[in-house]
A = this chain, B = another copy of it.
């Protein structure tokens, strides 16, 4: 069924499933490559010609606020999003900027909010940084480079 998951997730979180919201969340669920705002916009503006980037910005932020999607802020230049809400680790390549999922690594699994030092914790994220598989392979072809 088309966009059933997205529809369900929106309504379960008390968010009205407008055309745009449904399409954006559906895209996020079906594309696990951690797209940023522009990538989501570019991919969808063909199907929804009236779509504005503002709506994508606002919608994705709203999704993150309502735990419908994850906002990923590893890259200091741009924010990206992840529709997979199951606990998993992210790997960020300092060379090409891609974000990978690491499902086999021990990830923080937050069931309920909890207290630490008097603070109320409602989200946890663990990420690794380094040089990804592809970039390592490309570098072997060329001469040696140095990484910080």
Contact = CB atoms under 8 A, between A and B. Distances in A.
Interface of A: 65-67, 71, 73-76, 79, 91, 93, 100, 102, 104-105, 108, 113, 116-133, 136, 147-148
Nearest to A74: B73
Copies in the complex: 2
A60 to B, nearest CB: 11
A118 to B, nearest CB: 4
B128 A121 contact: yes
Contacts of A128: 116, 119, 121, 123-124
A68 B125 CA distance: 23
> Which one of A75, A126, A130 has the greatest number of beta carbons of chain B within 10 Å?
A130
A98 to B, nearest CB: 10
A122 B117 contact: no
A66 B148 contact: yes
27 contacts: A65-B148, A71-B76, A73-B73, A73-B74, A73-B75, A73-B76, A76-B79, A91-B117, A91-B119, A91-B121, A93-B119, A102-B117, A105-B116, A108-B126, A113-B130, A117-B133, A118-B132, A119-B130, A119-B132, A120-B130, A121-B128, A121-B130, A123-B129, A123-B130, A125-B126, A125-B127, A126-B126
